Amino acid sequence: MKTAHYYWTIYLALWRNSVTREMQFKVNFLLWIVVELLWFALQLAFMQVLYSQTESIGGWTRWQVILLVGISNLIQQLFTAIFLTNVNDLSEHVRTGKLDFMLLLPVNTRFLISLRKVDLGSFINASFAGVVIAYAGLQLGLHPTIAQFLGFALVCVAGISVHYSIMFLLATIAFSTVRAQGILTGYYNLFNIARLPDGAFRRGTFKAVFTFVLPMLLVANVPAKTLMGFPSAPGQIALLLAMSAVCFVVSELFWRWSLKRYTSASS
C-alpha cells in the first residue's frame, strides 16, 4: 500500500506539471484539439460515403461501423493522452543522456518514462468519441447490461495496453539505433486499421498478422462486439486479454535486455 501511494503521489505531480506546461501554450493546445476533431469528422464522413453505396460491409451495418469508429478513436485518444508522447521521447532520452539521470532516481524507470507527460487535449477528444459511441448506440437500440459495460471497459484498457506495449517495445530499438521515431510513426499510422470491421477481411495472411502479431483488428472490434452482444465476443475478449498480457511481458523482457546492454550516452 505504501508503494502504491508513493507512485500515485508521483503521478499526481506529473499531472500538475503537464497541466502547467500545456497552459503555457494555450493556442497550440486548442489548435491540436481542432485538428484531431476534424480528422475524426473526416473518418465518420468517409464511412457515410461508403454506406451511401451499400447496406453492410462484412455483415456490419452503418451505425455498427460508426460505433466501431467511435470506439477506435476513443482508444486511440486515450492512448495518445497517456502514453504516446512519452514513448516517442524514449529515443531522445537515450540520445541526449537523460536516461542516465532517470536510472538514478528512486522510482521505476519504465514507470517514469511511460507516464512523465500527459496530453490533456486528447482527453477532450476522447470525450467527443464517447458522444459518438453513445449516439450510435441509441441508433442501434442498444441496452448494454452492467456486465457488458464492465467487459467493454476491460477490453478498452486491454486495447490501450496492447498499443502501449508494442510501441514501447519498438521504442527500445533506440538503444541500438539511437533514433526510433520513424518506426513509431509507422506503427501509429496502422491505428487506422482498427476502425475497420474485421468481417470485411477474408481469412488469410493480412487478417492473421493484424490479429495475432499486431492485433489491430482486435483492439476496437472486440469492445464494439462486447457492447453489441455479438456471439463471438466472449472468445475474442479472452484472446484480446491474452494478447495484452503477452505483449506486455515481451516488451518488459526486451526492455530489461536492452538496459543490460545500455552503456550510457557518454560512453
- pLDDT of res. 179: 66
The more confidently predicted of residues 181 and 250 is: 250
Reported as a pLDDT band with limits 50, 70 and 90, residue 261 is: confident
- pLDDT of res. 187: 81
- pLDDT of res. 267: 54
Reported as a pLDDT band with limits 50, 70 and 90, residue 114 is: very high
pLDDT in tens, 138-194: 999 998 889 899 999 999 999 999 999 999 999 888 777 766 667 777 787 778 887
Statement: residue 84 has pLDDT above 60:
yes
- pLDDT of res. 262: 81
pTM: predicted TM-score of the whole model, two decimal places: 0.90
Reported as a pLDDT band with limits 50, 70 and 90, residue 32 is: confident
- pLDDT of res. 203: 80
- pLDDT of res. 91: 85
Of 109-123, 175-189, 197-211, where does the model show the most confidence? 109-123
DSSP string, the chain: -HHHHHHHHHHHHHHHHHHHHHHTTHHHHHHHHHHHHHHHHHHHHHHHHHHTS-SEETTEEHHHHHHHHHHHHHHHHHHIIIIIHHHHHHHHHHHHTHHHHHHHSSS-HHHHHHHS---HHHHHHHHHHHHHHHHHHHHHT----HHHHHHHHHHHHHHHHHHHHHHHHHHTTHHHHS--HHHHHHHHHGGGGGGS-GGGS-SSHHHHIIIIIS-HHHHHHHHHHHHHT-TTHHHHHHHHHHHHHHHHHHHHHHHHHHHHH---TT-
pLDDT in tens, 212-247: 888 888 999 999 999 998 887 889 999 999 999 999
- pLDDT of res. 265: 63
Reported as a pLDDT band with limits 50, 70 and 90, residue 72 is: very high
Domain limits, the chain = 2-261
Mean pLDDT (the chain) is 88
- pLDDT of res. 266: 59
- pLDDT of res. 198: 85
